[in-house]
Amino acid sequence: MYGNFECIHCGRVYPVIKQLRKVLGDNLRFVFRHFPTVHTHPHSLRAAEAAEAAGAQGKFWQMHDELFSHQTALEDRNLSSYANRIGLDLERFTHDLMEHTFLKQIETDYQHSLFDEHVTGTPTILSE
């Protein structure tokens, strides 16, 4: 799924995907790819960075759930609160956000989505 954490349509799909993941378990391979459209969702890129920073600490899906559960609260202070809630090393998380540790990869993946996968909006769900 190509999505962004601020997209209301992605937010509507989120509980359905969560239920599918729960029901199908290991029989479903679900991949979330960031597609931050900052012109319409100004916090989506920062939220993607937060998800990747959490992922670096082994908690991508926990942050994914926090971000979709709080789509209207994606300011840095909120992101730090979610990081604390899911038990991240806050110093490392803050450092990763301040240094934009994952920004280049997110931007590269976004360009790939546009030009190679021809994604034009969110949510976009592809199946194999």
d(CA 102, CA 33): 13
d(CA 63, CA 79): 9
Output phi, psi for 124, to 5 deg. Answer: -120, 120
Query: pLDDT, tens digit, for every residue of 37-49?
Result: 999 999 999 999 9
Just give the CATH number of 2-115.
3.40.30.10
CA 10-14-19 angle, 5° bins: 155
Query: pLDDT, tens digit, for every residue of 4-57?
Result: 999 999 999 999 999 999 999 999 999 999 999 999 999 999 999 999 999 999
Cα Dmax for the chain: 39
> What is this structure's pTM?
0.94
Structural domain boundaries of the chain?
2-115
3-state secondary structure of 86: coil
Angle 8-24/60-69 helices, nearest 10 degrees?
130
| pLDDT number for residue 128 | 75
d(CA 20, CA 2): 17
